[in-house]
Structure 1
Amino acid sequence: MSELKGTPHNSAVKGEIADIVLMPGDPLRAKLIADNYLENVVCYNTIRNIFGYTGEYKGKRISVQASGMGIPSMGIYSYELFNHYGVEKIIRIGSAGAISEELKLGDIVIASGVCTDSNYISQYRLPGLFTPSGDYEMIKTVTSVLDEQNVDYKVGTVFTSDVFYNESMSDLEDWKKMNVLCVEMESVSLYCNAIRAGKKALSMFTISDLPLEGVSMEADERRTSFTNMMEAALEAAIRM
């Protein structure tokens, strides 16, 4: 695909996207990062309002692109970034719902491994269970930045679900028994795509919901208040 001039989901020409991409779920959060943190910004995608931008952060070329919501959407966009556009690393910067009682609104979680109720992994026809994990060197870099910034965080296993409005919260109670930290909706496809392509990925989250307590951030707060996570991801990206 050396002559790639776009896909059905991304209008970028090959070469317009940096080697490392930050991926929030929300397109407006991608725009917020591009507008407030990057210099010499170029918008390379607006198809389906999944905004993608490339610019410079402290002299390093970085892209930021939304993933949309859910495993299938992340699966499409991260697959194309890795396999069609030559992206080497993706950092997901998203929101999550706490499962662990040790987490509160605004806390940061880094996904070392992912559990799921999705059928996404079945496409690989593996003769057993596969547990996708984040890249260890990326985890080390991000945690080092957070330590320097004196920001608290937890590293551990997260749960990627197909379901946002679940009929029963008992499922989360079951995951809680296995010390799963939080629930989100994208990381299993990101991690699988990275591993299959021989690339690297990391998911980090800000806790926006306490589903077992019925507490949530407002939509605007989700988009604008994840400053610690976004700044840590940007600082880590220039060291990778």
Structure 2
Amino acid sequence: MTVHIGAKPGDIAETVLLPGDPYRARWAAQTFLENPVLVNEVRGMLGFTGTWKGHRVTIHGTGMGMPSLSIYANELIRDYGARTLIRIGSAGALQHHVKVRDIVLAQATTTLGSPSRSIFKELNFAPVADFGLLSAAHAAATQRKIPTHVGGIYSSDTFYDERQDLSDQLQRHNCLCVEMEAAELYTLAARHGARALAILTISDHILTHEALPADQRERSFGDMVEIALQAAFTTA
């Protein structure tokens, strides 16, 4: 066990899906995995391990923001041997052609700062997704006929952002959406030789202010889980 994860050695699978919300981790595990077992509940951050089509999978919450995700991703990779980490979460659209309920596959991420930024000093490191996971997820989404966009996203560590000038530049440079974790996940995966991808459902729109109703979020989240599982084991 680690400071933040109470799982025993062998409890965590090599493939880990990472929703921010620990209750979504529980829902996803109970809905999509066979025989899910609770392996962590330290500080209320739930993690479950079960199987999907015979493959071992862990679904573990990360909390909100890159500092929180960094704690769990570091420990999952370094202490538990996770090798494939897929973020499954929500995002806000920054382009008119990206609609609520659409899926975004984050090819690359932009950020003002992350927990890893200090080690690079003057270097602007470019965190990117694993191409095998990215291409497999795109194929899975296409097969399911879900509107899907592939491109750059913005990882913010500020939920209530008042930088309209920054939003304007992100939109101008075709950034697809904003979320809060992927940049740090991609950086850690690169550092430790793991595979990472962020699969995001557009839950609200920054430009139109449209939002996905609460009763429809779970169904859309389910699409992400199935795409993530298929991608993880298509490329394994």
Q: TM-score, normalised by structure 2?
A: 0.94
Do the aligned partners of 1:112 and 1:134 also contact (CA within 8 Å) in 2? yes
* Residue pair 1:22, 1:64 contacting (<8 A) in 2 also: yes
Distance 2:214 2:180 in 1: 17
| Cα distance between partner residues in 2 of 1:98 and 1:116 | 16
The whole-number CA distance in structure 2 between the counterparts of 1:82 and 1:220 is: 34
Is the Cα–Cα contact under 8 Å of residues 28 and 223 in structure 1 kept in the other structure?
no
Residue 207 (str. 1) matches residue 180 (str. 2): no
Deviation string 1:174-201 (CA, Å, 9 cap, x unpaired) is 1011111000000111011111111110
Shift of 1:63: 0.8
Q: C-alpha separation between the residues in 1 aligned to 2:121 and 2:183?
A: 15
Which residue is 1:88 aligned to?
A: 83
| Residue 145 of structure 2 corresponds to residue 145 of structure 1 | no
Give yes or no for the alignment of 1:58 onto 2:53: yes
Match of 2:177 in 1: 182
| Superimposed CA distance per residue, residues 87-118 of structure 1 (whole angstroms, 9 cap, x where no aligned partner) | 00101011000001111110000011000012
Question: Normalization by structure 1: what TM-score?
Answer: 0.93
Superposition CA RMSD, Å? 1.5
- Are 1:198 and 2:184 an aligned pair? no
**Larger displacement relative to structure 2 (122-131 or 215-224):** 215-224
Shift of 1:173: 1.6
* Aligned counterparts of 1:150 and 1:227: Cα–Cα separation in 2: 14
Q: 1:236 aligns with which of 226, 231, 234?
A: 231
What's the % identity of the aligned pairs?
A: 39
Gaps of 5+ in 1: 1-5
> Which residue of the partner structure matches residue 3 of structure 1?
none
Partner AA of 1:67 in structure 2:
T
- Kindly indicate whether residue 87 of structure 2 is the aligned counterpart of residue 120 of structure 1: no
> Are residues 123 and 219 of structure 1, via their aligned partners in 2, closer, same or farther at CA, if it must alter by over 3 Å?
farther
Match of 2:165 among 160, 167, 170: 170
Q: Structure 1 residues 14 and 220, CA, compared in 2 at 3 Å: closer, same or farther?
A: farther
Structure 1 residue 110 corresponds to structure 2 residue 92: no
2:73 to 56, 72, 78: 78
| 1:238 aligned counterpart, secondary structure | helix
Distance change (3 Å), C-alpha of 1:218 and 1:48: farther
